[in-house]
C-alpha cells in the first residue's frame, strides 16, 4: 500500500466531511485513481467521518481487491467507481455520498436544474441528470449510471439512493459535490415561494465566461491592476 495514496484518500474523505455535503451518518465512499495504473485506492470504512487509514483498500479497476479488506456493503459499490475510471480517462477521483438535499431529488427521481450560477461555472450548465434505479452494485445500477452520464458532466443523481461525483482531482470533485448540494438545498427552500427557476441557457454560458474572465485577471491586490 502506498502511504501517500492512502493519505490522499483520507484527506479527500476529510474534505467531503468538511464541505458539509454529506448525510448525518457520514455514509459514502471516495476513491482515487492511481496515475498510470489500472487500480484505485478506496475508502472501505462504513463512514467518511473519521475514516481510518487502515480501512483504505487498493482495488483493481476490474473490481478485484489487491490489498486491504473490503466489507460486503462497501464492495457492492466498487463497480460504480471503477466504471467511471474505465469510461473517462481524465477522471482521477470519484465520490459517492447521500448528501441530504441532493438525495431528496434522487429519491423523487427529479433532476437538479441550473438554478444557481455555480452549476454553470463547474461543468453542470444543464443541471444534474438522474440515473435510473437498480439495486446497489448490480449490473443494472451500473448500466443505468453509464447511460445517464453525459460526457464532460461531473455528477449524476442515483435514483432512490444518492449522488455520484467524478472529476480530475479530489479538490474539484469535492467542490462539485458541494455545489450540487447547495443548488438542491436552495431549490427545496424556494418551494414556499413558487419553486426554483432555471437560469436561461444563454445566460449560463455568460456566467461561465464571466468566471473565466475573472480567473484570468488573477487575484486582486491593492496597488496592482
Residue with smaller CB distance to Zn ion, 15 or 161:
161
Q: Which residues have CB under 8 Å from 129's CB, separation 6+?
A: 111, 148, 149, 150, 153, 156, 157
CB of 68: closest distance to Zn ion in angstroms? Answer: 20
Residue with smaller CB distance to Zn ion, 22 or 121:
22
Please choose, out of 9-17, 78-86, 157-165, 183-191, the segment that lies near Zn ion by the rule CB under 5 A.
157-165
Residue with smaller CB distance to Zn ion, 80 or 179:
80
Pairing assessment for the beta strands 130-131 and 93-97 based on DSSP bridges: unpaired
160: left (phi over 0), alpha (psi -120 to 50) or beta: left
Please choose, out of 11-19, 59-67, 159-167, 183-191, the segment that lies near Zn ion by the rule CB under 5 A.
159-167
Q: Computed from CA positions of residues 91, 24, 6, 71, in that sequence, does the dihedral angle turn out positive or negative?
A: negative
Residue with smaller CB distance to Zn ion, 162 or 196:
162
- CA 140 to CA 148: how far, in whole Å? 12
> x/- site string to Zn ion, residues 161 to 200, per CB under 5 A?
-x--------------------------------------
CB of 164: closest distance to Zn ion in angstroms? Answer: 9
CB of 93: closest distance to Zn ion in angstroms? Answer: 17
CB of 194: closest distance to Zn ion in angstroms? Answer: 32
For Zn ion, which residue has the nearest CB?
162
CB of 162: closest distance to Zn ion in angstroms? Answer: 5
Residue with smaller CB distance to Zn ion, 26 or 162:
162
For Zn ion (CB under 5 A), the number of binding residues is: 1
44 binds Zn ion (CB under 5 A): no
CB of 61: closest distance to Zn ion in angstroms? Answer: 20
| Binding footprint of Zn ion on the chain (CB under 5 A) | 162
Amino acid at each position: 500500500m502506498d502511504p501517500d495514496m492512502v493519505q490522499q484518500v483520507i484527506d479527500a474523505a476529510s474534505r467531503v466531511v468538511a464541505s458539509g455535503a454529506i448525510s448525518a451518518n457520514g455514509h459514502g465512499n471516495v476513491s482515487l485513481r492511481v496515475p498510470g495504473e489500472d487500480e484505485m485506492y478506496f475508502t472501505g470504512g462504513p463512514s467518511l467521518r473519521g475514516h481510518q487509514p487502515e480501512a483504505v483498500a487498493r482495488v483493481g479497476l476490474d473490481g478485484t481487491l489487491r490489498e486491504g479488506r473490503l466489507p460486503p456493503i462497501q464492495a457492492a459499490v466498487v463497480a460504480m467507481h471503477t466504471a467511471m475510471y474505465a469510461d473517462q480517462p481524465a477522471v482521477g477521483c470519484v465520490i459517492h455520498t447521500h448528501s441530504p438535499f441532493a438525495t431528496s431529488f434522487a429519491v423523487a427521481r427529479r433532476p437538479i436544474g441550473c438554478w444557481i450560477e455555480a452549476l454553470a461555472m463547474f461543468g453542470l450548465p444543464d443541471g444534474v441528470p438522474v440515473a435510473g434505479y437498480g439495486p446497489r452494485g448490480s449490473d443494472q445500477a451500473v448500466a443505468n449510471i453509464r447511460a445517464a452520464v453525459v460526457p464532460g458532466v461531473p455528477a449524476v443523481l442515483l435514483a432512490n439512493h444518492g449522488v455520484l461525483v467524478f472529476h480530475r482531482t479530489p479538490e474539484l470533485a469535492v467542490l462539485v459535490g458541494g455545489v450540487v448540494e447547495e443548488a438542491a438545498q436552495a431549490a427545496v427552500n424556494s418551494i414556499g415561494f413558487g419553486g426554483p427557476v432555471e437560469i436561461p441557457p444563454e445566460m449560463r454560458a455568460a456566467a461561465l465566461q464571466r468566471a473565466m474572465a475573472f480567473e484570468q485577471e488573477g487575484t486582486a491586490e491593492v496597488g496592482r491592476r
